Structure 1
């Protein structure tokens, strides 16, 4: 063995020892000191890992996925769930009439089927609002895919023809207003001149749509997004909100749109958003999904980094979860907003490790992922599939299997 001689000044001189035991007590002490330093470093890294691992796992919208082949892995296909590539990202739940009309409009570029469908959809209900959003979204997506150019027709041309040929049609005016709102959010940055110009155009389009259908709440619901983007003063926003309450006081879609304005990241605060959501839940008529509003308020204020492992089982989350579960159990099976609430319930129930209840939500919503929180992800279908796999794995780890899951 060789060592390092330590001189009288405490520095190593680089020479070998001049005898079998020369210098070894001192050298041994040096090696011992170094070993202790390394040991402390390793212990610090281990402790740091315990702190950082929950942080990395709990970033908002992200959750660890069980690797294929892992003992905890389970196959969602055993439960008859759709393949990831088959998940429909356009809507939160099924609406076959809308899908059929969308196919016709996009293949023929003829707007008349869309106009007829909206004309036959009740103005005060949730379904008309969802269909307006779907038609506007389809036109916006077409335009993004085919922006046009020399000798090329831009995508979404059917909407332009609709507005040109039926300028006073209330349905077409509402779809056009919502199209402009979606274009502003998708193609420009809030606060820029481009964003403001598009939003001002959308604001004017909302006014036109309201003139063609004075009792229709949808033009005013669309304007809620304009108000958020342009930063309406609270007095102006509240006046707009009163117009909606006069026409559709229990409209869930309108309440969700208004909630954004009151959130901390826009023009309100956590307290104002919670207050708005809780007031809506308190005045919700029997069978209304407004009782689920507090859960949406909690979601909008989730911490970017959560250091508390029991956060999703905390009192505030548990109370909001129970309100949403009660709303789901009391709602009409055909309520168009039911799927929206079930999707958010799945997110929270998985995070809270309430596996059986999460599986129950999956039985109702699997196949469609066009809702929060999945639509915030770059790949909504993949994000939904992660949570679905976790729900299945957790359910089976606690003794569940396809045979024990009630349908």
Structure 2
């Protein structure tokens, strides 16, 4: 497809066609496909990702509750209920809803019940980590335990350890911890975030998506500095920025199958490589994205991050630039357009 006619597609399931089918049924109030999909999901990273995406859709309906009513002994239904009520609590907190405290308590109870019914599952602990950001003053003791290393902060390390015990280096667990860092103090502390992601990514094994974690903090710093307003943005072409992109490329992307990568991680890597002028390498990541895209981090390159159309324009310009560079690099380096 020629670059000038290409239009990217956003879908929460990305390249997971089985998840896409389950989401379609879920949107019409049917839960059997969701149940069958989860029953066939036999590894924790995929289970974590699928339950998260399903919950984002199910949170606006009573479909999961209908499943629980029909199959009250189902541990998968209990985990999905936990997911849904946590999603609702997080949305209420973001919107400043008066029922936030009530929903937070309900979600906490649902997480504890799911952890009891499915003791090997990391998701209830990931969900408890997600709720930790609501405790902005770190009033709860489990949210201010001592860190496991120097240069780190008091936080919900026990919850992270429980998730790690069940699924070492669970992607969502560490991203939830990063969100906690941002919410820990008014305005957030990027130095704490940098220390955390460097600690996590350096400990993670080859092929772990946590190798891309530093790219998220770099985007957050760029966002806070209003980088889109600068005529010449040097943020992405520094040696440190280029190194972060290369490390994520070689230690994560080059080690795993692209289908196992989340669209958001791929988008952050493509963005980082493009921003640091590593165009030919970025083209390989754009290839892995295929027809898909995500609005972030591209939206932060625009004057209005809420305008998806502007974000798409940035994405398309970056993609075209990188594909052209890969074609110009010669045989063996040119991806499809």
Query: TM-score w.r.t. structure 2 length?
Result: 0.80
CA offset digits 1:176-205 (Å, max 9, x no partner) = 222222223334546664222222211111
> Which residue in the other structure is 1:304 paired with?
225
> Which residue in the other structure is 1:48 paired with?
none
Sort the Cα spacing of 1:395 and 1:118 in 2 relative to 1 into closer, same or farther, 3 A: closer
Instruction: Decide which of 78, 102, 105 is 1:200's aligned counterpart.
Output: 105
Distance in 1 (CA, whole Å) between partners of 2:226 and 2:82 is 36
> Which residue in the other structure is 1:342 paired with?
266
Sort the Cα spacing of 1:360 and 1:255 in 2 relative to 1 into closer, same or farther, 3 A: same
Sort the Cα spacing of 1:111 and 1:287 in 2 relative to 1 into closer, same or farther, 3 A: same
Residues 177 and 205, structure 1, Cα contact 8 Å, conserved in 2:
yes
Q: How does 1:13-162 map to 2 (within 5 A)?
A: 77-79=1-3, 82-84=6-8, 87-91=9-13, 93-107=14-28, 109-122=29-42, 125-140=44-59, 143=60, 156-162=61-67
Whether 1:284 aligns to 2:177 is no
Whether 1:262 aligns to 2:172 is no
Residues 90 and 368, structure 1, Cα contact 8 Å, conserved in 2:
no
Q: Relative contact order: is structure 1 or structure 2 higher (C-alpha 8 Å, sep ≥ 6)?
A: 1
Residues 374 and 381, structure 1, Cα contact 8 Å, conserved in 2:
no
Sort the Cα spacing of 1:366 and 1:82 in 2 relative to 1 into closer, same or farther, 3 A: farther
Distance in 2 (CA, whole Å) between partners of 1:266 and 1:190 is 19
Secondary structure of the corresponding residue to residue 273 of structure 1: helix
Secondary structure of the corresponding residue to residue 215 of structure 1: coil
Residues 171 and 209, structure 2, Cα contact 8 Å, conserved in 1:
yes
> Which residue in the other structure is 1:238 paired with?
157
Residues 242 and 272, structure 2, Cα contact 8 Å, conserved in 1:
no
Distance in 1 (CA, whole Å) between partners of 2:18 and 2:120 is 25
Residues 253 and 337, structure 1, Cα contact 8 Å, conserved in 2:
no
Which structure 1 residue ranges, 5 or more long, are not aligned? 1-76, 144-155
Query: TM-score w.r.t. structure 1 length?
Result: 0.67
Whether 1:273 aligns to 2:193 is yes
Distance in 2 (CA, whole Å) between partners of 1:343 and 1:386 is 12
Measured after TM superposition, the shift of residue 237 of structure 1 is 1.0
Distance in 1 (CA, whole Å) between partners of 2:253 and 2:83 is 32
> Which residue in the other structure is 2:320 paired with?
392
> Which residue in the other structure is 1:176 paired with?
81
Distance in 1 (CA, whole Å) between partners of 2:115 and 2:90 is 22
> Which residue in the other structure is 1:251 paired with?
170
> Which residue in the other structure is 2:150 paired with?
none
Computing the radius of gyration over CA atoms, which structure comes out larger, 1 or 2? 1
CA offset digits 1:217-254 (Å, max 9, x no partner) = 01110111101122343226122112112111221221
Residues 132 and 178, structure 1, Cα contact 8 Å, conserved in 2:
yes
Distance in 2 (CA, whole Å) between partners of 1:371 and 1:220 is 28
> Which residue in the other structure is 2:241 paired with?
317
Measured after TM superposition, the shift of residue 266 of structure 1 is 5.1
Distance in 2 (CA, whole Å) between partners of 1:340 and 1:185 is 20
Distance in 1 (CA, whole Å) between partners of 2:124 and 2:299 is 23
Sort the Cα spacing of 1:395 and 1:363 in 2 relative to 1 into closer, same or farther, 3 A: closer
